[in-house]
Amino acid sequence: MEKPVKEVQMQFTRRVPLFEHVCPVCDTTFQGAKIAVYCSVKCRKAAAWQRHGKEYNANRKKGAE
Ligand SMILES: [Zn+2]
């Protein structure tokens, strides 16, 4: 038998302070959370591709065989 539980509805608002950053991919100044590095998902993916593109391609080829 399951333990009895009490359900409580909650709502949160997190206030995240914004900091000025410069995107290393497109050199755009943007505001983001303290740990933000890239201005957009597009730039984040571009950077990941620059770092790991060869691995990604190698894995792709492996998967295709
Ligand atoms: Zn960018």
Q: For residue range 2-42, what is the model confidence (pLDDT) as tens digits? A: 899 999 999 999 999 999 999 999 999 999 999 999 999 99
CB within 5 A of ion ligand 1: which residues? 23, 25-26, 39, 43
Query: Strands 29-32 and 19-22: what pairing?
Result: antiparallel
CA 18 to centroid of ligand 1, rounded, Å: 16
Q: What is the mean pLDDT of residues 55-62?
A: 91
CA 43 to centroid of ligand 1, rounded, Å: 5
CA 27 to centroid of ligand 1, rounded, Å: 6
Scan for tokens 């391609």, then name that residue.
57
CB burial of residue 36 (10 Å; 0-12, 13-18, 19+)? middle
